[in-house]
């Protein structure tokens, strides 16, 4: 599984790069704080409900959650489903908020 740090991701976003982001947290977590990712909770990925993500299959996709655990699981699942380039955001939103407080 590939990873990306919050510093690397932030630098890419600040440079105006279009990065595909997928948030695998629950809706209430997403509404509390997010960095603009498409909400697709881990439970849907575990049930192989990835139709909404199919168009991203051959592109780089950064997956994030609260701490990096659920997003790591999602990356592994998506890789087994044929997604070619998924990256887990190390430390998730906890690391993001620690490094880039609002």
Strand residue runs (E) in 1-102: 2-4, 20-23, 38-39, 60-64, 85-89
Which one of 9, 62, 63, 65 is the catalytic residue? 65
Is 65 one of the annotated active-site residues of the chain? yes
What is the C-alpha separation between 96 and 68, in angstroms, rounded? Answer: 11
* Catalytic positions: 65
């Amino acid at each position: 599984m590939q990873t990306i740090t919050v510093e690397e991701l932030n630098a890419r976003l600040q440079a105006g790069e279009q990065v595909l982001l997928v948030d695998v947290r629950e809706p209430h977590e997403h509404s509390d704080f997010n960095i603009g990712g498409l909400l697709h909770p881990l439970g849907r990925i575990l049930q192989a409900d990835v139709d909404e993500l199919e168009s991203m299959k051959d592109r780089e996709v950064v997956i994030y959650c609260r701490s990096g655990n659920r997003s790591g699981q999602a990356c592994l699942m998506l890789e087994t489903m044929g997604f070619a380039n998924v990256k887990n955001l190390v430390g998730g939103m906890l690391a993001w908020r620690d490094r880039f407080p609002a």
